[in-house]
Every structure is written in structure tokens, then in C-alpha cells.
Chains A and B, each alone.
Chain A
Amino acid sequence: MSALLEVRDLTVSFDTEDGVVHAVDGISYSVEPGKSLGIVGESGSGKTVGTLTIMGLTRSPNTTIGGEALFEGENLLTLDEERMREIRGNEIAMIFQDPLSSLHPYVTIGDQMVEAIRVHRNVSKKAAEDRSAELLGMVGIPDPRQRLSGHPYELSGGMRQRVMIAMALANDPRLLIADEPTTALDVTVQAQILELVASLQRETGTALVIITHDLGVVAEVADEVAVMYAGRIVERAPVDELFARPEHPYTWGLLDSIPRLDRPVSEGLTPIPGRPPSLIAPPPGCAFNPRCEFAMDECLSVIPPLEPSPASAGHLVACHLEPRKRERRR
């Protein structure tokens, strides 16, 4: 199947007073129709900037963007603003982390949804309202008709996030980008939202890119996972493969450092020492080398390319370690 979105060697850097920040430093991935890709990383790994750039939301005089992001053959990075507006919210929709600050506080939910629909569709206000109510019902909001005249502050965090999802789905997007969609929510509500996203994806066949720092969320919704560190993808693999046979020391570190309910407490936690590097002056060679217990001379000078692992097909790793040494974890 051909890819719906294909990102090739995307780079994004910002010129700031302190120097040039290399937020995204050459990442490539693709998403097929109906599939979901999880992008995992810590703050500052470039996971959000990468997708914002694809949506054309980082364009400014002090931003330098390179590479390509092909969406059904069109390069999103070079499209003019007018065409970009046609795509945004229509063919590609986005859900942000914080539903309170992404909804307009003074405008009723109905008016916001109707606007989102009528920007892209030539339909009557009445028809757009009907569609809005239908969407709110679909995402599990009780009394959708009445909710249309309510304001965002009248809703709880989980309900607001449902409104965001309903709005994102309003124009049947081909691709949905969700940036930490459940981070601001309580666990029981998070579970509701994740189930909702998964079932809507099954029904509508939308492709999904989900950005999160939570490996548990990724394990639940993604088909493929890309692990980012300091602006680069360090490992990319199908979800089962990544959790069963992670090959990059950073991925091992992440998996060992999170407290997990499915492991005995006695195993303890093994933190990754140190902290993420500066993106203005990243360490030479592999950006993870100062924190990596396996770092060799080569790691200090040569940036490892993301290459297919000989161990299994479809598994890409950027590490100088010999492939057999990368089978350390099971």
C-alpha cells in the first residue's frame, strides 16, 4: 500500500538569541491509510515541532525548514498558505494536548464546530449544526443538541477533549495528528479517550499520528513506533517488535526507568543517568553518547544513521553497537 504521508529527511531549526536550535534534525517516516504511528520522546526531543511543521504551523522568518513531507503527493512544506488552509482541519486534523486552551472560551461549542465545518464545506448553518450534534453524539457526549449552546468552561477536561476530537473529525480527515491527547486527563478518562480514538479510527479508516511521552499509551494505540531523541529518530519498528526486542540503548533505558504495574517492585528502577542534551550545541557523534553505558570511540564522533536491523525486517535502529550486542534485552 502506498503511504498517505511520507516524511523525508525533515529538518527544522530555529534561530534564537542564544544560537540556532536544531529541534528536528533529519527524520523520515511514513504513515499508511488507516494505520497509526506513535512518536515517543521526552520534552525537547522534537516530536511536537516535527508535526507542527508538517501542518505548516512553524513557518516564520527565523525558522529554517528542510526536507519533504509528501501528503498524497503534495509537499506540505512548500505549499502556499492558501492551499495549506484548505488541507488543515479538512484532510489533516490535529488534536492538541490541552483542550481548554485550544477551544475558544467565549464562543459556544456549536458555533465553534459549525465554523470548523463551514470553512471547508459549502453547507447551510442548519446542516452544519446537525452534523455537529451527530459528531458530539459519536464521541459519547450526552445530550449533544443541548451541548451545542454551551461554552467550554461548562465541560470537564475529558468532555472538552471529546469536543476537540469531534471537531477534528468533522470533515472526515484522512490523517489525524494527536499531540499528547490524554496527558492532561485523569487515568480513567484517558482510558475512555484512547478507546474512543481507537474505535473511531476503525470506523472511519483515518490514519493516526500520536505523539506522547507515555510508552503505555503507545503500546495501546500504535501500529508502528518511532522513538525520538534530541531531534532524531533513534529507533523505529512495528509496535510488538519494539517492545519485544528493543535494540537502541535509549529505548532500553526508557523501558527500564518507568515504574510499571506489570513488573515486581523488587526489580527496582534503573534511571538513565544525566539529562537530555542541549539542542543548540548537541554532543558530537551520537547525541545519546554522554548518557549511554555502551558508548564507544566511534559514538563520540560519528552520528549513527538509521538503518535496518539485520535481526528483523521493518526494524530500524540508529546505533553503532554490533547487532548481536543489541539483543541484550528480551
Chain B
Amino acid sequence: MSDPLVKVTDLQMYFPLTRGIIFQRQYGAVRAVDGISFEVAPGETLGIVGESGCGKSTTGRCLLRLLEPTGGSVEFDGVDVTHRDRRGLADLRRNAQMVFQDPYSSLNPRKTVGAIIAEPFVIHRMAREGDERKREVRELMDRVGLNPEHYNRYPHQFSGGQRQRIGIARAIALKPKLIVADEPVSALDVSIQAQIINLLEELRSELGLTLVVISHDLSVVRQMCDRIAVMYLGRIVESAAAQRVFDEPRHPYTGALLSAVPVPDPRIARAGEREVLSGDVPSPTAPPPGCRFHPRCPEAQARCATDEPQLRELDGGTLAACHFPLAPGAMAGDGVDTD
């Protein structure tokens, strides 16, 4: 295997909680990401899934160094970028881009689409002459399925799906190596989502991109990714090839997550022996001791409350952090817990 493009080791991102206005005291921390490690190979698509508050977006922001991690390290293309300053990040900024969830708030409403897409050239002083730049921008617009004649229009004149295309054009402008897409389709209408998913896939194979897709939607991630990491409360609980995760979930949380997704087929929906988790995700300021999932876990035993399981390799190559992993093929198993 070639060297990874992104290597994350023991990444930790705590946000301090403070009290007081003048004399601020820290009384705790939101442990958004609490010690995770993974690699992304060039050309690979990694999916990070989890529910709100699991730390998936924070992870994405740390990869791009939009946040400075409080612990661990992030390497991009063999260079440690964890604590680099602005100048030291120039290379990362050029080669790693982001596509945001909300195409309404991530585009400057006062700039024309042409200016928005040309912005990366300006920032990175890829100072091309006016005409040449304009031609490049038009090509980019055409590439993502926008009409190049709309160069001078403003974001409000476009629909949500088209705006997401603008955001994607901006992201690929500098021919980056890595794109982190944070919930790229969840703000879009269902009939438009497939258009954007297909576009990202085309671009990936055409430009040889490496993609990290962050989403709460398992079906979206399954459609797009080679490998998937499932997060829960700041930790990776399971990581494996995409198909494996869906066919043979080994962590009870992954199993529950899968069975919670409503399937658009009434026969399956009725027959489904669905495993409904009780309770909510606990607060990341005070995660439960032991396995963080144990208060909601149908398989939990005494050991889970005290002993935090580490990510380990199970037969078949799946990494799971669980003392009592599900047997392969034990999906929709026993211990159904309804409330």
C-alpha cells in the first residue's frame, strides 16, 4: 500500500468550558474528539458516520486545520501539520479543500458566482490574467454542471442544488488532492441529492481526488465510500470496508444504527425486527466511564461499565472497539430493547 495521504494519530479536540467574565475559570471541556486514529490512502473515499455530537464534523475541521487539535497529530502528505502556523499551512490550504453542508450560508451573498469560484486563485496568488482566469472559472462551472453564462449572477439566483455545485467548483478550483465534504447533500431535496452524489463521484475518478465524506446518513455514505469509520461520542467504534460495515456490522452501535434507518419498502418495514436503542447520546462533557456506549447497549455486561474497549482487529479485517462484538451475520440479533 502506498503512503497515506492523511494520517491521523490519537487526535484529540477538547473545547474548554469556562465560567465568569473577567476571571475566567475553566470548569470542564467538551470532549468532541477524544483520541482517534485513522489513515486515508490516496484516491480512497473514507466515510465518517455518526449522530449529532459524535465529533465527525470536528474531525473534518481538524483534518483541514480549521481547528488546532488539543492533542495527537495530523499528517498531510507526509508533513505534520498539527501545530503549523498560517504560513506553514499554505501547502495544506492549497491541496485540501472543503465542501460545506449548507449551500446558503457558505457562499458570500454579495459576490458574483464568478468571483466566488475565482477566490481560491486570488488567495493563493495563482495570479492569472483576467481573461485567463475568467476562462478557467467558466470551465469549472461547466465541469460541475452550471451554465457558464451565469458567471455574473449572485448566489441567491440559484437553487440549493446549484449552489452546492458552486461550492464544489470552488473546492476543485486549485486541483486539490483532498476534499472533505461535510454533509454535502443533507440540505438538499431528495431528487437533487443523487445529482450531487453522482457529481462528486465523477470528479473523484476524473481528478484522482481523495475524499472524506462526513454524514449522518448511512445510505449516502454507503453509496459513496470505500471505507467507513463509525463514530460515537468522540471515538471511532468501528471501521472497515464499506460493504463489510453494512453486511456484517460488529459493533452493537453500528448494528443499531443500521436497523434504525427506515427502508422505503413497506414489506421490509413491517417484517423488520428492528432494534430500537433506548435513551439519547450522553453529553460529551462527561462521557460514561468504560465503554461510552454501554448505557444504551443491548449487549452490555459488567465489564463494559469499567473497562474502555480499544479498537482492535477482528477476523475479517474489521476494526471494532467492543468487548463483546456481534458475531458475523448476527444482525438484528437478540436482546431487542424497546422503550
Contact = CB atoms under 8 A, between A and B. Distances in A.
Q: Do chains A and B interact in one complex? A: yes
Interface of A: 42-43, 140, 156-159, 186-192, 194-195, 213-220, 239-240, 243, 253-255, 257-262, 265, 268-273, 275-276
Contact of A187 (B159, B194, B243, B260): B260
B267 interface: yes
A261 B189 contact: no
A21 to B, nearest CB: 16
Chain A contact residues, majority secondary structure: helix
B155 to A, nearest CB: 15
B261 A240 contact: no
B190 A219 contact: no
B51 A188 contact: yes
B266 A219 contact: yes
A280 to B, nearest CB: 14
Given A214-B190, A255-B264, 4 more contacts: A220-B262, A257-B194, A261-B261, A262-B263
A272 B191 contact: yes
B64 to A, nearest CB: 25
B194 A186 contact: no
Chain B contact residues, majority secondary structure: helix
Nearest to B199: A271
B262 A190 contact: yes
A265 B222 contact: yes
A239 to B, nearest CB: 5
Interface stretch (B15-23, B108-116, B167-175, B270-278): B270-278
A214 B262 contact: yes
A25 to B, nearest CB: 19
Contact of A216 (B194, B222, B223, B262): B262
B262 A219 contact: yes
A194 B222 contact: no
A259 B262 contact: no
A257 B52 contact: no
A270 B194 contact: yes
Contacts of A215: 190, 264
A243 to B, nearest CB: 5
B257 A188 contact: yes
Interface range on chain B (Cβ under 8 Å from partner): 35 or more
A186 B220 CA distance: 15
Nearest to B221: A259
A258 B269 CA distance: 17
A91 B339 CA distance: 27
B260 A216 contact: no
Contact of B219 (A157, A218, A260, A270): A260
Contacts of B261: 187, 216, 261
B222 A261 contact: yes
A-B pairs with lowest CB-CB distance, top 10: A216-B262, A271-B194, A215-B264, A186-B51, A257-B194, A191-B260, A259-B219, A269-B194, A259-B223, A271-B195
Interface centre among A215, A216, A271, by most B CB within 10 Å?
A271
B70 interface: no
Given A158-B280, A219-B265, A275-B159, A258 B189 contact: no
Contacts of A220: 262, 266, 269
Nearest to B280: A156
B214 interface: no
Contacts of B219: 258-261
A187 B261 CA distance: 6
A153 to B, nearest CB: 13
Contacts of B120: none
A240 B267 contact: yes
Interface in B52-84: 52
A183 B253 CA distance: 21
B268 interface: yes
Interface in B219-271: 219-220, 222-223, 242-243, 246, 256-269
Given A239-B266, A259-B223, A269 B260 contact: no
Interface string B205-223: 0000000000011111011
B192 interface: yes
Contacts of B300: none
A190 B260 contact: yes
B262 A217 contact: yes
A158 B51 CA distance: 12
Interface in B266-315: 266-269, 274, 276-278, 280-281
